[in-house]
Amino acid sequence: MRKSGSFWYAEYKKRGEDLRVKKKWFIPIGILALSSWFLYRENNQIDTTAVTVQSDKLPAAFNDYKILQIADLHGKSFGSRQKVLLKKVNKLQPDVILMTGDLIDSRRNGEEEALLLMKQLTPDYPVYFVTGNHEVRLNLTILPKLEQLGVTVLRNTSVSLEQNGQFIELLGIDDPTTTRWSEGLQEPDGIRQSLDQAQSTAETRSFQLLMAHRPEYLPLYAERKVDLVLSGHAHGGQIRLPFTDGMYAPGQGFFPDLTAGQHTMENTRLIISRGLGNSLFPFRIFNHPELIVVTLRT
């Protein structure tokens, strides 16, 4: 039995309608796929920022001394067993690794990923750590575990870094929430107290490098005449739109000033890492995770 022309027309019309329906989904599916790829890339592509710091106070043995700063991991994993991050670190071959707080996250912990990273770094590099507000929120329970792995935790104290018989002073202070909660001090007073304790154990004439989680207290670091400060905490402002330093940073509010890069006050130089992980807000936008490599020059 032959099918009529009206049948073929109806069939053609139905197929056309089906195709139009399918086409309606192509655009939103494409947008969703591109958005997912964009967010994955923004939050997993690690940038390496190179900074050179020159000072007449640096001993000759520290010329070309390479410092790797790791900040604000927040328990994030980069590849299986941190392989992506470790590959980046090993390619850089730093002389020392300085971790400026928030290795874990108080909302989702991430201790296993953090300790796994430390376990693989400490056999090859000297690693130093200072607390961030998230370690304080979790009652500092990770600190003895870090020390067991060979990480040196600096809590309002200093150590001498040695290179061919010459020295600079490395200072590390607790996040100010430590004294705010334990001693009832306002944050600036807690920072001042911590700085006083750390500098009391340091050689005052030497170059002083400070690890401090909070960048917004630059005036207090300058007040104590620290030569170089490494900080994090601000996450690069989380969302970095054109002509801004980020939309929001804890402790600074909206459109903050101190979220990344280099800043100078008097004779104190501050370097702020955008960090690696996220906390309350789960995404970075135009703000890749960052490692900072500081090369000292005499």
- Counting Cβ atoms within 10 Å, is residue 29 exposed (0-12), middle (13-18) or buried (19+)? exposed
Give the total number of structural domains in the chain: 2
> Is residue 134 located within the same domain as residue 278?
yes
How is 178-201 classified by DSSP, letter by letter? HHHHHH---HHHHHHHHHHHHHHT
Show which of 26, 44, 62 is a domain's final residue: 44
d(CA 239, CA 282): 11
For residue 192 the two structure tokens come to 């001042």
**Structure confidence by residue, pLDDT tens digits, 11-32:** 545 565 555 555 565 666 666 6
Lowest mean pLDDT among 2-6, 104-108, 146-150, 289-293: 2-6
**Structure confidence by residue, pLDDT tens digits, 106-144:** 988 899 999 999 999 999 999 999 999 999 999 999 999
Q: What is the per-residue pLDDT for 1?
A: 46
For residue 213 the two structure tokens come to 């989680």
- The span from the first CA to the last CA of the chain, in angstroms, equals 95
Q: Map residue 99 onto helix, strand or coil.
A: strand
Amino acid at 248: Y
What residue ranges in the chain does DSSP mark as E strands? 47-54, 66-70, 96-99, 127-129, 152-153, 157-163, 166-172, 208-211, 228-231, 248-249, 253-254, 261-265, 268-272, 290-297
> Is residue 123 located within the same domain as residue 198?
yes
Which percentage of the chain shows pLDDT scores above 70? 88
Domain limits at 21?
1-44
> Is residue 165 located within the same domain as residue 276?
yes
Q: What is the per-residue pLDDT for 41?
A: 83
Which helix H or strand E contains 6, and what residues bound it? helix 5-44
**Structure confidence by residue, pLDDT tens digits, 247-288:** 999 989 999 999 999 999 999 999 999 999 998 888 898 999
At residue 10 the predicted structure's pLDDT band, cuts being 50, 70 and 90, is low
> Is residue 15 located within the same domain as residue 102?
no
Q: Give the domain CATH number at 212.
A: 3.60.21.10
> Is residue 65 located within the same domain as residue 170?
yes
d(CA 238, CA 248): 7
Q: What is the per-residue pLDDT for 216?
A: 97
A 10 A CB-CB count for 88 gives 17
> Is residue 31 located within the same domain as residue 59?
no
Q: What is the per-residue pLDDT for 27?
A: 65
HSE-up of 3 (CA within 13 Å, CB side)?
Answer: 6
Q: Map residue 240 onto helix, strand or coil.
A: coil
> Is residue 12 located within the same domain as residue 74?
no
Higher-pLDDT residue of 185 and 21 is 185
Which residues are CB-contacts of 41 (< 8 A; sequence separation ≥ 6)? none
> Is residue 84 located within the same domain as residue 11?
no
> Is residue 38 located within the same domain as residue 153?
no
> Is residue 15 located within the same domain as residue 74?
no
> Is residue 67 located within the same domain as residue 189?
yes
At residue 7 the predicted structure's pLDDT band, cuts being 50, 70 and 90, is very low
Q: Tell me the average pLDDT of the chain.
A: 90
> Is residue 198 located within the same domain as residue 145?
yes
Q: What is the mean pLDDT of residues 207-220?
A: 98
